[in-house]
Amino acid sequence: MVVAIAGATGSLGQFVTAAILNPPFRESFQEVRILTRNPSTHIVQEFQKAGATVIQVDFTSKEHLAAALKDVTIVDVLGHTGDTNRQKDLLLDAVAGLDSIKYYIPSEFGIDTRRVQLEDPTIVWNQKIQREKKARGLGKFRVISIYSGLFLEGTFRAWSHIMSTHDSPIVGLDVQNQVFTAVQNADVPFSLTSKVDIGLAVASICSLAIKGTGKEIPDHVIISGTTTTIKQAAEVFSEYGTGPQSSESAEQPSTISNIAGSVTPHHSHHQSIKLEIIPLETFKAELEKSAEIIMLAWLRIWMSDGKLDFGSDNHNKLVNPNSAWKFTTLEEYITSVNGRPFCSDTPPDTRTAMEQIQAKIGLPPMFVRLLKYRRLNLGPIQPLDLEEQLAISLSIE
């Protein structure tokens, strides 16, 4: 069985690829195929050393994509940069013409698109919905959509490339300026999942599909790494990162920049997070003044009405049976960035995606050394022989 990954080196894709290439999932696949524009990058070469088959493709050519996907069983589509909507459409067209494809995993990994409705057809989520409907309508293969809530690593950071006028937190959680701004209600739960956990969950789903009949896997898979509320998040950041307490304020920002959570000036690192509540109607009225952030602003509305709460209704036990790994908590994330996800002086995690995945699933040091030795000296990974399995079991004990 062959799994192909499009977007394997992206911000999320590298963790999916790394998880598939590592135990316990690697043994499920005869081949792990990476489709890439540039096979010479460091990360592609690292995956190749780990046993991946690297194929350089032209994502603007349906024929080229079809050739790269020959004999593939599972297609996993990731990535969101560039003209990827057109490319994903072409990729789906290529997949539709192949009889070998049994499973197709579209680029979701965020909101549960079944729960939301947006009128603007150009909004990314609507484009995802239409592509998913098209894929399911073909009736040629199983479509497995995966929803993971907000990305834990991106929720508390400011993103200047998203907001062209200023740096702004995408959902109003402004750690840098010590202000968390909720729409309507700060006590509604919402879910976040780390990219490492998403990668492992996707690898697990692919492995389950290969090993069994796939019947145990629903068409829509929901995972939730951790669940919190805006008020709880403020308290946790205050405790672990920015101060001892949180406080509420009845202030109602009247400009779109304040609605986006961009409040100045920069406060002391030791000051507690302040909570601000914006009435829903006030928030919607301000949105009409600027089309720039309407798509992202909907995330905040959905957070306020519970559409991002996956905490109690999810498939965590399906993708992570017997707790093979531990989902990252908000406290663990805050500690890992020293309570300062916005700061350039926060030491970055210099480990590769491969190393982070190996650490998460708890591969013993001897196993990791053995994998590195085999990659350097023996080429693509083969099943471990009895002597190697014994060595690994002894190292675990």
Split into its structural domains, the chain has a count of 1
Is 213 inside any structural domain?
A: yes
Give the tens place of pLDDT for each residue, 210-244: 887 678 899 999 999 999 999 999 999 988 865 43
Is 382 inside any structural domain?
A: no
Distance separating alpha carbons of residues 225 and 24, to the nearest angstrom:
20
SS3 label, residue 121: coil
Is 254 inside any structural domain?
A: yes
Q: Above 50 in pLDDT, residue 267?
A: no
Across residues 38-51, what is the average pLDDT? 95
Is 57 inside any structural domain?
A: yes
Across residues 366-395, what is the average pLDDT? 47
Is 284 inside any structural domain?
A: yes
Query: Comparing 13-22, 267-276, 349-358, which segment has the lowest mean pLDDT?
Result: 267-276
Is 171 inside any structural domain?
A: yes
CB 77 within 8 A of CB 105: yes
Q: Above 70 in pLDDT, residue 389?
A: no
Of 207, 146, 141, 218, residue with least CA distance to 3: 207
Is 394 inside any structural domain?
A: no
Is 307 inside any structural domain?
A: yes
Residue 202: band (very low, low, confident or very high) from pLDDT cuts 50, 70, 90 = very high
Write out the residue range of the structural domain in which residue 137 sits. Answer: 2-363
Report the CATH number at residue 300: 3.40.50.720
Helix ranges (DSSP H) in the chain? 13-20, 42-49, 62-68, 84-96, 124-138, 152-155, 195-211, 230-237, 256-259, 280-287, 294-304, 316-319, 330-336, 353-360, 365-378, 386-396
